[in-house]
Chains A and B, each alone.
Chain A
Amino acid sequence: MPEAEPVTEKNTKDQRSQHDPDERGHFGPYGGRYLPEALMGALDELSAEYDKARLDPEFTGEFARLLSGYAGRPSLLTEAPRFAAHAGGARIFLKREDLNHTGSHKINNVLGQALLTKRMGKKRVIAETGAGQHGVATATACALLDLECVVYMGEVDTERQALNVARMRLLGAEVIPVKTGSRTLKDAINEALRDWVTNVDTTHYLLGTAAGAHPFPVMVRNFHKIIGEEARRQILELTGRLPDAVAACVGGGSNAIGIFHGFIDDSDVRLIGLEPGGKGIESGEHGATLTEGTPGTLHGALSYLLQDEDGQTTEAYSISAGLDYPGVGPEHSWLKDTGRAEYRAVTDAEAMDAFQLLSRTEGIIPAIESAHALAGALELGKELGEGAQILVSLSGRGDKDVDTAARYFKLVEDV
């Protein structure tokens, strides 16, 4: 076996692909670092460590072993013919991230960053969570790798996702309900950033989505790229051709950017992000950042943002806690502006219809987040017509959403 080339600054730079941001983390005008000076040292350290690790066979080997031997990768690709019968004759394929350990795509990024935390010699991890999927995944990785874990979660979300709070505590994590602002994901990130600036010497902030300051967007994307790489191979094996469209839900955008990157150079494959349209765009109660937002800075990056004319972040709304976020990862903003990806809004009602339809036609209960992508696929199928192939990122399973669904569909009494 040839000896691995030593990791140097030069070959680190050579490793950058045309889809990587510039050295300071810009995708076109978006991204960058809009955070206090006190965190710049930690971000530089993280960038340097990640640039070395991504080329270090010891790191990449350990990451690959954890993905296959622990997370359960590769995840399946499942055709959904009974569901697709409602999609205008298109074929629909589900990338089954719901089957990963902990029940969503989040584990990919978490294992990568937890390994990096160990490499940096840090012992404590903090994370934010909305639906609880990222918090559960982080608590899991910290249990596995013997790291102290603190998860910030908006108080509203701790109520609507109580089961995941219990799950995190079972795994040994401390869950801190955040009572400031809108008491959802945005405020959980604010609180995690405040913790980080105070404890940065000992602590890694394990950000759960492809947003935030450089290097998070590119690093998180790269940890999730495996979703798209596997799916591309699988759909070629299964059908002999590439899909016509790839659909994924977009809150912060990590599962979407991961699956999109498997197809980003396949210019005939449409990349479609589905945002939470909440009660309808016209109601003002939604989280459709790319559809309705304007560029601004939040949580360390310039990206599309839901904000008022004074630059105050406005509150997002979605039935799905994991999509209830007024910002979005900066690479999505760039993909929108360049036209490489398209973004559409799906309402709560459309998502819940798709949620129920998949459950009843395929025996798969999806996360409500992922149900936005499913709803988008139903529409796309009708547009693309007979014989079209649509790949859907089924980013998570719906166990955590059973309570919400029971209320929504009035499935049990007294809830």
Chain B
Amino acid sequence: MSRLAQLFEATRAEQRAALVGYLPAGYPTVDASKELLAATIDAGADLVEVGVPYSDPVMDGPTIQAAADQALRNGFRLKHLFEVVESVSARGGRAVVMTYWNPVHRYGADAFARDLASAGGLGMITPDLTPDEAGDWLAASDAHGLDRIFLVAPSSSEERIALTTEATTGFVYATAVMGVTGARESVGASAADLVSRTRAHTDLPIGVGLGVRSGDQAAEVAGFADAVIVGSALVSKAGESAAEVAALTAELAEGVRRPVVPAA
């Protein structure tokens, strides 16, 4: 059983959703990003997504764009990613990497998978790589025992949800709304609908991301999803302090433990 599967087995046994926190490696610096990730783990994140700062983040809103820019300006290099992942593993945390495809393509999919696995990473989320173009990644993830987390969106057809869940392992990433990353007032009904459409195709756990920023929203999403994924809201706090990151993580961790079951 993959380590992600073990994680979801445990959270399901506790009748709660998992909390997944996103922070970019190297933001604001490589060392500070290790501390911030440690703070999210200590405050209750079940899994962290370590983001790879990238020059052309087309799926990201202003918060994560600015963080990526700063990380790159402060000297982030791809070799630092593995170092950051290793720091999560060393602390007893679980990490997956979230990255646009080109840095992986350039590094070599197999070499990237090898180095991620040896750093203790569990898998990878690929926002601009769908299974259609993922031949190299399917082979590399199989070869190195990594989970490959693909995304489904409210605009995905049934055919595309079938194709995507077929190729996915670990968990499915459901993007709650049509749009880029960023904290939102409400996550929207489209998320619950997408999760229920996706469940018709797979038994994999389903995580919902895009827009969650508070404990109450986390509780709402926990009512219909297996994982609540929080990115921009944590990145905003990361711009303030590790204590702020820990406080928000604790609030979110409390939220995923009191799922609000949607009215039938």
Tell me the A residues contacting B by CB distance below 8 Å.
24, 32-42, 44, 180-181, 186, 190, 193-194, 197-201, 294-300, 302, 305, 307, 309-314
Whole-angstrom distance between the alpha carbons of A180 and B133 in the complex?
28
Given A41-B155, A42-B155, A312-B54; A34-B103 close (CB under 8 Å): no
CB distance from B191 to the nearest CB of A (A): 13
The binding surface of chain A is classed by DSSP as: mixed
Which of B57, B133, B155 is in CB contact (< 8 Å) with A38?
B155
Which of A35, A309, A310 is in CB contact (< 8 Å) with B58?
A35
Whole-angstrom distance between the alpha carbons of A198 and B62 in the complex?
14
Asked if A41 and B156 make an inter-chain contact with CB atoms under 8 angstroms apart, the answer reads: yes
CB distance from B132 to the nearest CB of A (A): 6
**CB-CB < 8 A to B154: which residues of A?**
38
**CB-CB < 8 A to A312: which residues of B?**
54-55, 72, 103
Asked if B155 and A193 make an inter-chain contact with CB atoms under 8 angstroms apart, the answer reads: no
Whole-angstrom distance between the alpha carbons of A33 and B126 in the complex?
13
Query: Does B92 reach chain A (CB closer than 8 Å)?
Result: no
Query: Does B9 reach chain A (CB closer than 8 Å)?
Result: no
Which of B65, B100, B106, B127 is in CB contact (< 8 Å) with A180?
B65
Asked if B132 and A200 make an inter-chain contact with CB atoms under 8 angstroms apart, the answer reads: no
Asked if A41 and B78 make an inter-chain contact with CB atoms under 8 angstroms apart, the answer reads: no
Whole-angstrom distance between the alpha carbons of A193 and B59 in the complex?
8
Given A296-B102, A310-B106, A312-B103; A37-B130 close (CB under 8 Å): yes
Asked if B102 and A36 make an inter-chain contact with CB atoms under 8 angstroms apart, the answer reads: no
Interface of chain B residues 102 through 150 with chain A (CB within 8 A): 102-107, 127-130, 132-133, 150
Whole-angstrom distance between the alpha carbons of A305 and B179 in the complex?
26
Asked if B106 and A193 make an inter-chain contact with CB atoms under 8 angstroms apart, the answer reads: no
Number of A-B residue pairs having CB atoms within 8 Å of each other in the complex: 120
Whole-angstrom distance between the alpha carbons of A201 and B129 in the complex?
22
Asked if B178 and A198 make an inter-chain contact with CB atoms under 8 angstroms apart, the answer reads: yes
The interface size bin for chain B is 35 or more
Asked if A34 and B160 make an inter-chain contact with CB atoms under 8 angstroms apart, the answer reads: no
Asked if B132 and A311 make an inter-chain contact with CB atoms under 8 angstroms apart, the answer reads: no
Asked if A34 and B129 make an inter-chain contact with CB atoms under 8 angstroms apart, the answer reads: yes
Whole-angstrom distance between the alpha carbons of A271 and B55 in the complex?
33
Which of A41, A181, A311 is in CB contact (< 8 Å) with B104?
A311
**CB-CB < 8 A to B57: which residues of A?**
190
Asked if B102 and A200 make an inter-chain contact with CB atoms under 8 angstroms apart, the answer reads: no
CB distance from A201 to the nearest CB of B (A): 8
Asked if B56 and A186 make an inter-chain contact with CB atoms under 8 angstroms apart, the answer reads: yes
Query: Does B192 reach chain A (CB closer than 8 Å)?
Result: no
**CB-CB < 8 A to B129: which residues of A?**
34
Cβ contacts A to B, 9 pairs, < 8 Å: A32-B133, A181-B55, A194-B61, A198-B178, A296-B105, A299-B58, A300-B128, A310-B78, A313-B56
CB 8 Å contact bits of B77-106 with A (1 = contact, 0 = none): 110000000000000000000001111111
Asked if A36 and B152 make an inter-chain contact with CB atoms under 8 angstroms apart, the answer reads: no
Whole-angstrom distance between the alpha carbons of A379 and B157 in the complex?
53
Asked if A298 and B56 make an inter-chain contact with CB atoms under 8 angstroms apart, the answer reads: yes
Whole-angstrom distance between the alpha carbons of A38 and B164 in the complex?
12
Which of A32, A36, A190 is in CB contact (< 8 Å) with B132?
A32
CB distance from B176 to the nearest CB of A (A): 11
**CB-CB < 8 A to A199: which residues of B?**
178
Asked if B78 and A33 make an inter-chain contact with CB atoms under 8 angstroms apart, the answer reads: no
Query: Does B218 reach chain A (CB closer than 8 Å)?
Result: no
Asked if A297 and B179 make an inter-chain contact with CB atoms under 8 angstroms apart, the answer reads: no
Knowing that A40-B160, A313-B55 are A-B contacts, what are 14 other residue pairs whose CB atoms are under 8 Å apart, sorted by A's residue number? A32-B133, A34-B128, A34-B129, A36-B58, A37-B175, A40-B132, A180-B69, A194-B58, A197-B58, A305-B102, A310-B106, A311-B102, A311-B105, A313-B56
Asked if A297 and B155 make an inter-chain contact with CB atoms under 8 angstroms apart, the answer reads: no
Whole-angstrom distance between the alpha carbons of A233 and B243 in the complex?
72
**CB-CB < 8 A to A41: which residues of B?**
153, 155-157, 160
